[in-house]
């Protein structure tokens, strides 16, 4: 689900951090993507406040679901580790 840049209309992507991924693995990358900034290939970083209210609501829902997925993944890994 790509959001449109409010400045130029091009698609934006969620932020990505190699440091977060190297430090905390998949969980770190998920949390960074969930709560990080959005990037437009043409305009650079785009603040959430620049998007219309309905888009911000969809973004918040997506962020919550990604964070929840990360927590479920942590729980699943811990559950698997407890079975050994």
| Cβ-based neighbours of 34, under 8 Å, separated by 6 or more | 14, 62, 63, 64, 66, 67, 70
- pTM of the model as a whole: 0.71
Q: What are phi and psi of 40, to 5 degrees?
A: -105, 135
Q: Of 3, 7, 15, give the one whose Cα is nearest residue 55.
A: 3
pLDDT tens digits for range 24-80? 777 777 777 778 788 898 999 898 899 999 999 998 998 899 889 888 988 999 999
Domain that holds residue 69: 3-82
Provide the domain count of the chain. Answer: 1
> According to the model, what pLDDT value does residue 1 have?
55
């Amino acid at each position: 689900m790509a959001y449109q840049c409010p400045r130029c209309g091009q698609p934006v992507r969620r932020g990505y951090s190699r440091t977060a991924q190297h430090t905390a693995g998949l969980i770190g990358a998920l949390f960074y993507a969930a709560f990080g900034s959005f990037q437009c290939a043409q305009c650079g970083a785009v603040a959430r406040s620049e998007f219309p209210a309905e888009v911000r609501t969809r973004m918040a829902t997506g962020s919550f679901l990604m964070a929840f997925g990360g927590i479920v993944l942590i729980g699943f890994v811990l559950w698997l580790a407890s079975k050994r």
